[in-house]
């Protein structure tokens, strides 16, 4: 009985922390990803080489592209998240040293115009 009450209390605390962690109103998918981050990433430490991390990427994919396509896109990222990604030339490293892989668009365009302004 005590174990059940304790477990319920812990779950309630985790769920409320999930709601509190998100600034915007959370949907079921958002809550799921937040729970994952609280339970696994924060406890085990960050292991993802990408920025945004796979869980943030998945969350953005599901909320932006819908549950069907979003899950596919998130799973594609999940299969790419391995140590070989660090050696790939096709990825761009961000300032933090993590691989920059946003959901939409990955080409970082350098603008030259400011360098040549004559004033």
Partner 1 sequence: MLGTLAAAVLILLQPPNTSFADYLYGRGEYEMAAGEYLRVLFQANGDTLGLPEVSLRLARCWQEMGRTEDAMEMYTFLARGLTDPDLSGSALMGQASILEETGRTALAADFYSMAEDEFLQPDLRDGAGVMAGLMEARLGRWIPASDRLSHISSRGGSWSASAARLSSVVAAGEDLPSRNPVLCGISSAILPGSGQMLCGHFTDGIIALAVNGAVGFLFISSLEEENTTTSVLLGWLGLSFYGGNIYGGARAADRYNSARRRELLETVSSIVMEQSSSPP
Q: Which residues bind partner 1 (CB under 8 A)?
A: 68-69, 71-76, 79-80, 82, 84-85, 88-92, 106-119
Q: Residue 7 or 69: which CB sits closer to partner 1?
A: 69
Minimum CB separation from partner 1 for residue 25, in Å? 26
Minimum CB separation from partner 1 for residue 104, in Å? 11
Minimum CB separation from partner 1 for residue 28, in Å? 16
Q: Residue 29 or 38: which CB sits closer to partner 1?
A: 29
Q: Determine how β-strand 50-51 pairs with β-strand 92-93.
A: unpaired
Q: Residue 3 or 68: which CB sits closer to partner 1?
A: 68
Residues 6+ apart with CB under 8 A from 55: 33, 36, 37, 41, 48
Query: How close are the terminal C-alpha atoms of the chain, in Å?
Result: 76
Minimum CB separation from partner 1 for residue 16, in Å? 29
Q: Residue 19 or 106: which CB sits closer to partner 1?
A: 106
Q: List the strands of the sheet with 50-51, edge to edge.
A: 50-51, 99-100, 92-93
Query: What ranges in the chain are assigned the alpha helix state H?
Result: 2-21, 28-36, 42-44, 54-80
């Amino acid at each position: 009985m005590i174990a059940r009450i304790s477990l319920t209390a812990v779950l309630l605390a985790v769920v409320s922390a999930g709601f509190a962690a998100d600034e915007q109103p959370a949907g079921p998918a958002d809550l799921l990803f937040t729970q994952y981050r609280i339970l696994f990433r924060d406890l085990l430490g960050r292991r993802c080489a990408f920025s945004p991390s796979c869980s943030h990427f998945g969350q953005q994919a599901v909320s932006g592209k819908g549950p069907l396509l979003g899950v596919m896109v998130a799973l594609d990222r999940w299969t790419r998240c391995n140590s070989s990604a660090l050696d790939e030339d096709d990825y761009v490293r961000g300032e933090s040293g993590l691989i920059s892989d946003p959901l939409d668009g990955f080409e970082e365009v350098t603008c030259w115009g400011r360098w040549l302004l004559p004033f």
